[in-house]
A and B are shown apart, each in its own frame.
Chain A
Amino acid sequence: MNRTILATALAAAAAVALTGCTRPAQYVDPKGGRVMVTLDQINIQDWSMAAESAITDLLGSGVLDKVPTPPAVMVVSRVVNSTSQQVDTDMLTKKIRVALNKSGKALTMTTRGPGGSAEDELAKEIAQEWKDLGLVQPAQRPPDFSLSGKIIETYTRSGNYRQAAYTFQLSLTDNRGLAVWEGEKEVVKQGRRPSVGF
C-alpha cells in the first residue's frame, strides 16, 4: 500500500515536472534577461554586453570630441574573428556605430572600407558623381578615426564543467596611426549545459 502511494506520488511529480519543462515557442525581449545562454556560441546578449562596455568607455573618454570639426568621421576597419565560429562582426560594430551616431559624436563613412571595399557601393558611386561634377560636399573629408578589433575565444574544461571566454578587443586609431582609444571586454560563461535566462 505504501509503495503504491509512493510510486503514484513519484509518477505524478514526474508528470508535472516534464509538463513544466516543455514550453511552446514565444517571443522574448532581446534586451531582457530571459534569452538563451549557450557555451559554444556567442549569444546576442554577449554582443550587446561587449558593445555596451565599448560604447560606455568610448563616450566616457571624450576622445571623439578632439577633432577639428565635430562630429568625428569614422570608418570601420577589420574586426578579426579568432574564434572557432562563423560570426558576423557587424553584430558588434553596428551597435557601436548606432550608438555613436545617436550620440552625435561620430558618423560612420559607409563608402570606405578595408581593401577598398565599401559597405554601400551605391553610396560610393553617388559620392563619386558629386565629386566628378565638382559639387564636393563640405562634409566630405578623410576620416578622423578607424575602428578595428579582434574577437578571441578561450575554452576550458574541467570534468563535466566547461568555460567559454570571449574577449572583444577594439582600437580607435586616428589619422596619425595612433590608437587614441582601446577597449577590451571579456564575456565568460560557465556551465554544463545551455540554459534560458542569465
Chain B
Amino acid sequence: MKIGTPLRWVTAGLLTLAATLGTGCNTTHHQVNTVEPANPAYVRRNIEDKRIIRDSSTARSVHVLNVIDGSTPDGLMRVGVEVQNTRSKSFRFNYRFDWFDGQGFPVNTPTSTMVSQQLEGGQILVLTSVAPNPSVKDFRLSIQESTREHIPVLRKN
C-alpha cells in the first residue's frame, strides 16, 4: 500500500521534531574528570561484598568500586560505598542503607530512607552512612534507578 505524500511529510516532520527536541533536552553528556594524589594519605579498610544485580543498566551507571568499613570516634559502625558512573550520561538514582543486628534482624531507624542522588558521567562518589546504634553488625545498600513518573494533573484541594 503506497503511503500518501502528505502523510510521509508529516511523519518525517514529526521525527525531525522529536530528534531536535531530544537533542535540545539532552544535557547529560558532561562527564567528570578527577584529580587526586597518586598515593593517598588515607588508609582505607576495604571489605569484601556480595552483589545481587537485577538491573544491569543501573549497575553500569552506579558501579561499585569499593566498600569501606570504619567507625565513628564513639564506636559506631560507619560504612562507605564508593561508586562511579561508568557511562557518559548522567544518571539519577535512589539509595538506602538498611542495618541489621547481631541476629540478622533489621534495625528500624529514621536513617533507613531512600536518598535521591545524581551522578554525572564518570563521577565518583562515596555513599556513606552511620549505624544507628552499637548493636548493629551488618548493613545492606539498595540502589535503584530513579522511579520518577509524571502524572497529568494534581487537583488542588
Using a CB–CB cutoff of 8 Å, the interface residues on chain A facing chain B are 2-3, 6, 21, 31-34, 37-38, 45, 48-49, 51-52, 55-56, 59-62, 64-65, 95-96, 98-99, 102-105, 193-198
Q: For the complex, what is the distance from the CA of A34 to the CA of B152, rounded to whole Å? A: 16
B residues lining the A interface (CB < 8 Å)? 1, 3-4, 7, 72-74, 76, 78, 94, 96, 107, 109-116, 128-130, 132-134, 144, 146-152, 154
Q: Which residues of B contact A95 (CB under 8 A)?
A: 110
Instruction: Name the residue in B1, B111, B128 with the highest tally of chain A Cβ atoms < 10 Å from its Cβ.
Output: B111
Q: Is the interface of A mostly helix, strand, loop or mixed?
A: helix
- What residues of B have a CB within 8 angstroms of the CB of A197 in the complex? 146-149
Give the distance in Å from the alpha carbon of A10 to the alpha carbon of B148 in the complex: 26
What are 23 inter-chain pairs, A to B, with CB distance below 8 A?
A2-B1, A6-B7, A31-B114, A37-B148, A48-B110, A48-B114, A52-B110, A52-B111, A52-B115, A55-B111, A59-B74, A59-B132, A60-B78, A62-B72, A65-B74, A99-B111, A102-B107, A103-B76, A103-B134, A195-B148, A196-B151, A197-B148, A198-B94
Chain A, Cβ-Cβ closest to B72: A60
Closest to A198 in B: B116
Known: A21-B151, A65-B74, A194-B151. A102 touches B132 (CB 8 A): yes
